[in-house]
Structure 1
């Protein structure tokens, strides 16, 4: 789960609606003939080989895939188990999975239905559709187009991510009570937002007069015959027995079913077969058999790029984002719950759609999805032609963009700001003129490398055709990085997450050393038959004891942070719920004591040096402790750890 972004617009005025009109499949290169025809007879054994190997090697319990081509299901199949203990196999037409963020495309489809009916306007102030005041931190209105392209300027919003099925909240009430400050001017940044998409879903609910789940069922699922799909929470009784279990590893017990409070953004359950119908409808501009969920013009608008960081960069359509497919234009969306992971790709020029889902995280879920997709591309849709050679100034461009960057999908004003600030991503320039971006690896684990086209657009030459685009700010320096289309990062200065991490690590090391020296120094004095305590006046001894108390409080705080981080890493999302608020307050009390203690320790150190109390060595140690506590105090204050609000 990601907790994720900063300041004013640095992009040139490309407009949030960079392509309201025009081709639904822009910038599509001419494609050559497929060297290997995609047939079920060839596809099935090929996918069988990949999936059987991957499931066993990566400890995945079960998976399903659906491939559609030319308006029909070409291939769909389940692999492994929906329930390991009962040996229940995955069935493509019956086993329900949580499709997570792919749900956002259903929310967008519902919005577009109401747009074509004249009930909604993508560019109207969304406040006009709401029954509660939407928090605004900039004068510009927030629009549905911005909500559906993640450009509304919202910061990461993760509290109460999951809900128990017996306590599912009202969508409107939930959104009203979980608002956070905007951190970007609307239309200036891409900052992926579950809250924003859920807000669009609530607009559907408000304008249609139906609960969101009921509206989607009546106007999308039923017309397409998606009888095994639902946004309802809990899942209806007739579908509940068909739900796949969720696993971290196939060898471990199943985890509880996850119900997202922000349901329009990630709460749908479906089967591979149902998702095949959905892909066909979008590939056919809203039509599926005799049914139509969108008019052709509306569907084309939905598939048209609405936002680009710059005119020649990949962009975001309405909910779908532009993806890489060996040089061909593709629309895609991924989905991740704690343990269920999915992806959907549409390649309009080939009338091809692929849906892939796993019910386990396994040992490396990110690369598994990439491996399956890349394998399919290389076999059936190899690169249409050679990519341009790297520009003559590629090495110069690489050096210009190298540095530290921070995602725009971040917490910036909440108690979890620190975790976002430490998530700095490095761009490294290599001697051959290429760059690599930390965390971007190919399915075989090797780093993806990118070469400049001479205009700060870096293209991958040994993979699917991913891009890393840089945008210059007013200074003429590359200030913004966009990976493909949906992941945006801002350049950081000399003081960045790496520096903060080093300072905090140093502070922790000093405080631990100080705490360990107490028993060690006592033991040494005992062995040398010296007084167990250094002789000093009572006021001095009391100040030293107080400083020792501050050190202990700081170490307890550090230990609690470590436990919290470990809980997040193990996907224990109860630490992101209101039930954890009392523990957060205890955490804040300790943090406040550290801040006050740091000031007291600074005062003690100044007095010690002025009065020459104790040895030079002990005063130097006290000074190091003081600096360490001041680093902690500055971090606590600067990273909003004492904010009164526990909204995050």
Structure 2
């Protein structure tokens, strides 16, 4: 372990309330009468030295770096574990840089707000006023232009676009101008509707910095942010940039596979740095946090006006005013029941997060070079450590309010399925809506039971006004209600994610049933063409004369179509099991893999026509005709779902 301590004032006068000054509630994880540990440098360092190695072992992560600071100085900076597992190179607390991905968004927001301070950008002006014509944002919602405020709060209304974020060759990334020009997502909702995490919004913010300043984004950020703060071991660069990795002494990254950490993909280029191409060290992030805890000033050097710095960490957008939301390049969350504001970052074997607890004058940064052991999805060491530090050194929050009585205010109507808005209707990324959803069931006592891959916990207790808290008090669930009907929900644990309610026929569970039934019905048809492999003399022995050619060919077409569709589905699943799916999607889903389902659609159309002909001409027995019709319907349903999730080639896509 490599450790550095720096002087800092005591936080003896901490006074953290249980609620925000805004009306949203903050839930304590549990009622606790203990006194917080005095956050002296010695106490914080001792806690880190004891707890971080335990967490590295528990999460199976090779190494981590941590900084804890207040507005007047660093409380503790520590490096733990290994920067390179194979070479047994330890993490150096001062020198080892960690890929910190989307933590960059807070620094990008800072550079944009600097230009707002200078009058070169305005938060509420149509961004097209600043952009060249080839990058102009489409006027999809007349009278509702996209502004810098919308971009910085993930509320511009862009659909998600994973494809095109990276390139296979780190030297082939192009310019920021080219990226924002060639990769603009569709606008699928008006600005200010929901917060939906948007990498493109921050790429466009970086380009606005370029157009307003007349400088390359990385040059501007270096001269006006990193250099004034003394962040000498921080840089905007891609995770696979070999020169940056060497110059910054970057830690290697590790993913979990085969029962342990293995090297993660690192030889790729990131096509837009402002949203996530970022390396930093624990001491450098301490300086960034101290600057914002100090109202935009560090050691007499002002990087941002107090007004803009405070605005970054104030709530600037929420789908409802009494719920947790997002700031400018930041998001609110809960840390041991207290309001925290910051930003996480993750990419292929790298996880980082920083959080300010403004009421406690405390900043925490944690970076790790491994995803960890994911028994039920990826576990996040930085988030866990931030919560533990807040629990140890910040006075306990007051206990959560008791649950209100069921339907006290005539509430209800929350049951249903809610799917993520972080999706793309135009390509295979649309499957994200099936993989990230929440199903809500209302109980007689007014509580809710949540299920599905995106449900952070199961039981939620009513607090009134369409708000619920998790049974352990660590999270808050808020519904967006319009015209008396719940239309969306969000969690305090991630305020940049919104889940929109969908009707039953768009629910992933419905689609799953259709796929299973379709596959089962189609499977029987595969036997028809196989029966043609039996020698003709055996098929004729003791049987009636062969059926006419047309019915035989109808069954052959149905069987071949079923074999194609089911074989494709099985082959696709087998192939996906052997590739890094996020990495593959970032490069782009291989278009040839969409052709077999397209052929299946054409063939299924023929099967449907032949099903009608079979009834008209009385082919086979009634049972045979019913069977054939069911096969046709099964194929239709299966391919309809495949088409819904864009797994069928479409020349118009």
The alignment's TM-score, normalised by the length of structure 2, stands at 0.86
Check 1:341–1:397 CA distance in 2 against 1; reply closer, same or farther (3 A cut): farther
In the alignment, the residues of structure 2 paired with residue 463 and residue 81 of structure 1 have an alpha-carbon distance, to the nearest angstrom, of 35
How many Å apart are 1:70 and its aligned residue? 4.1
Check 1:525–1:73 CA distance in 2 against 1; reply closer, same or farther (3 A cut): farther
Establish whether residue 222 from structure 1 lines up as the match of residue 230 from structure 2.
no
Three-state SS of the structure 2 residue aligned to 1:500 is: helix
Check 1:24–1:403 CA distance in 2 against 1; reply closer, same or farther (3 A cut): closer
How many Å apart are 1:196 and its aligned residue? 0.9
Tell me the residue number matched to 1:153.
Answer: 157
* Aligned match for 1:410, one of 401, 416, 423: 423
Establish whether residue 255 from structure 1 lines up as the match of residue 265 from structure 2.
yes
Structure 2 unmatched runs, 5+: 1-18
Tell me the residue number matched to 1:345.
Answer: 355
How many Å apart are 1:65 and its aligned residue? 1.2
In the alignment, the residues of structure 1 paired with residue 422 and residue 502 of structure 2 have an alpha-carbon distance, to the nearest angstrom, of 15
The alignment's TM-score, normalised by the length of structure 1, stands at 0.87
In the alignment, the residues of structure 1 paired with residue 202 and residue 184 of structure 2 have an alpha-carbon distance, to the nearest angstrom, of 13
Tell me the residue number matched to 2:627.
Answer: 621
Q: Is the 8 A contact 1:397 1:454 kept in 2?
A: no
Establish whether residue 494 from structure 1 lines up as the match of residue 504 from structure 2.
yes
Tell me the residue number matched to 2:208.
Answer: 203
Establish whether residue 329 from structure 1 lines up as the match of residue 339 from structure 2.
yes
How many Å apart are 1:314 and its aligned residue? 1.4
How many Å apart are 1:362 and its aligned residue? 1.7
Establish whether residue 183 from structure 1 lines up as the match of residue 185 from structure 2.
no
In the alignment, the residues of structure 1 paired with residue 610 and residue 94 of structure 2 have an alpha-carbon distance, to the nearest angstrom, of 71
In the alignment, the residues of structure 2 paired with residue 526 and residue 137 of structure 1 have an alpha-carbon distance, to the nearest angstrom, of 67
How many Å apart are 1:28 and its aligned residue? 8.4
Q: How many residues align?
A: 613
In the alignment, the residues of structure 1 paired with residue 212 and residue 188 of structure 2 have an alpha-carbon distance, to the nearest angstrom, of 28
Three-state SS of the structure 2 residue aligned to 1:453 is: strand
* Aligned match for 1:610, one of 599, 616, 624: 616
In the alignment, the residues of structure 1 paired with residue 600 and residue 539 of structure 2 have an alpha-carbon distance, to the nearest angstrom, of 35
In the alignment, the residues of structure 2 paired with residue 83 and residue 529 of structure 1 have an alpha-carbon distance, to the nearest angstrom, of 70
Three-state SS of the structure 1 residue aligned to 2:77 is: strand
How many Å apart are 1:120 and its aligned residue? 0.3
Tell me the residue number matched to 1:242.
Answer: 249
Establish whether residue 552 from structure 1 lines up as the match of residue 563 from structure 2.
yes
In the alignment, the residues of structure 2 paired with residue 291 and residue 236 of structure 1 have an alpha-carbon distance, to the nearest angstrom, of 30
Q: Is the 8 A contact 1:398 1:429 kept in 2?
A: no
How many Å apart are 1:517 and its aligned residue? 6.6
Tell me the residue number matched to 2:16.
Answer: none
Note the 1:102-501 alignment, pairs <5 A.
Answer: 102-131=103-132, 132=134, 133-139=136-142, 140-163=144-167, 164-233=169-238, 234=241, 236=243, 239-240=246-247, 242-249=249-256, 251-257=261-267, 259-364=269-374, 365-393=378-406, 400-421=413-434, 423-430=436-443, 433-438=446-451, 439=453, 447=457, 449-460=459-470, 462-464=472-474, 466-474=475-483, 476-484=484-492, 485-495=495-505, 496-501=507-512
Tell me the residue number matched to 1:82.
Answer: 83
In the alignment, the residues of structure 2 paired with residue 338 and residue 270 of structure 1 have an alpha-carbon distance, to the nearest angstrom, of 16
Considering only aligned residues, what root-mean-square deviation do their CA atoms show, in Å? 3.0
Task: Using the TM superposition, name which of 175-184 and 43-52 deviates more.
Answer: 43-52
In the alignment, the residues of structure 2 paired with residue 287 and residue 542 of structure 1 have an alpha-carbon distance, to the nearest angstrom, of 79
Three-state SS of the structure 2 residue aligned to 1:157 is: coil
In the alignment, the residues of structure 1 paired with residue 528 and residue 64 of structure 2 have an alpha-carbon distance, to the nearest angstrom, of 54
* Aligned match for 2:637, one of 624, 627, 631: 631
Task: Using the TM superposition, name which of 196-205 and 543-552 deviates more.
Answer: 543-552
Q: Is the 8 A contact 1:472 1:480 kept in 2?
A: yes
Three-state SS of the structure 2 residue aligned to 1:400 is: coil
Q: Is the 8 A contact 1:414 1:643 kept in 2?
A: no
Task: Using the TM superposition, name which of 143-152 and 231-240 deviates more.
Answer: 231-240
Q: Is the 8 A contact 1:190 1:488 kept in 2?
A: yes
Check 1:490–1:392 CA distance in 2 against 1; reply closer, same or farther (3 A cut): same
Task: Using the TM superposition, name which of 232-241 and 527-536 deviates more.
Answer: 527-536
Structure 1 unmatched runs, 5+: 1-22
Task: Using the TM superposition, name which of 107-116 and 558-567 deviates more.
Answer: 558-567
